[in-house]
Chains A and B, each alone.
Chain A
């Protein structure tokens, strides 16, 4: 079945450092890909998404490009802030039915001043 693999955390960075969180997937067809973020004490929030190959999702300075050839959707940000400290989840859904999400394990990001 479909699956998502993302790098283990925690990822610890200093403020203004460059961020990459790797995500690869296994799926049939052409799923949609997502990054969700969970801040402490809050629910999962959609950060960005891409629905077809070579699409780039972006939001709040974060970007990820849907790479069909490498089955990847790596999350990047050029300059992280302390407020970006959270858990980041990569996920996919097939574009059929009610589009259940298939998640990775989540990667905790800790940004220090």
Chain B
């Protein structure tokens, strides 16, 4: 069965460093999402992406964050200058077409630890 994959599974970085989290969505999916979960807190929406542009973003998704689909298969989340509070589990998701009630398929997550 097709699945969403994410790499790395765990990333440790120092405060102020740039990180890129990678996701490979399911191949025929057109809608992509990033969510994150700070330990012990809710899973929070960050951004949705369609047709090579951001369709919606949350207040969390400030200028330090960016997303890209560089090569038609990968979907990346970049954090330009990491802060301690960016430590969280980051989930990528993809969907065929959410407006037709197709579900979002999630990857296993990348645990980001900022020291």
Flag whether A31 is at the interface (Cβ < 8 A): no
Contact between A98 and B50, CB atoms less than 8 A apart: yes
Given contacts A98-B98, A99-B98, A100-B48, contact A43 B108 (CB under 8 A): yes
Size range of the chain B interface in the assembly = 20 to 34
In whole angstroms, what is the CA distance A93 to B99 when docked? 11
Question: CB-CB < 8 A to A49: which residues of B?
Answer: 103
Per-residue 0/1 for A99-113: is the Cβ within 8 Å of any B Cβ (1 yes, 0 no)? 111111110000000
Which residues of A, 41-71, contact B by the 8 Å Cβ criterion? 41-46, 49, 51
Check if B56 is an interface residue, CB within 8 A of chain A. Answer: yes
Q: In the complex, how many residues of chain A place their beta carbon closer than 8 angstroms to a beta carbon of chain B?
A: 24
Min CB distance B105 to A, Å, is 7
* Interfacial chain B residues near A105, Cβ < 8 Å: 40-42
Contact mask for chain B residues 1-39; partner A; CB cutoff 8 A; 1 contact, 0 none: 001101000000000000000000000000101010100
For B3, B43, B98, the residue with the greatest tally of chain A CB atoms inside 10 Å of its CB is B43
Other-chain residue from B37, B40, B103 in contact with A46 (beta carbon distance below 8 A): B103
A42 to B1, CA, bound (A): 14
Contacts of B42 in A (CB 8 A): 4, 103-106
Interface positions of A (Cβ within 8 A of B)? 4, 32, 36, 41-46, 49, 51, 89, 91, 93, 97-106
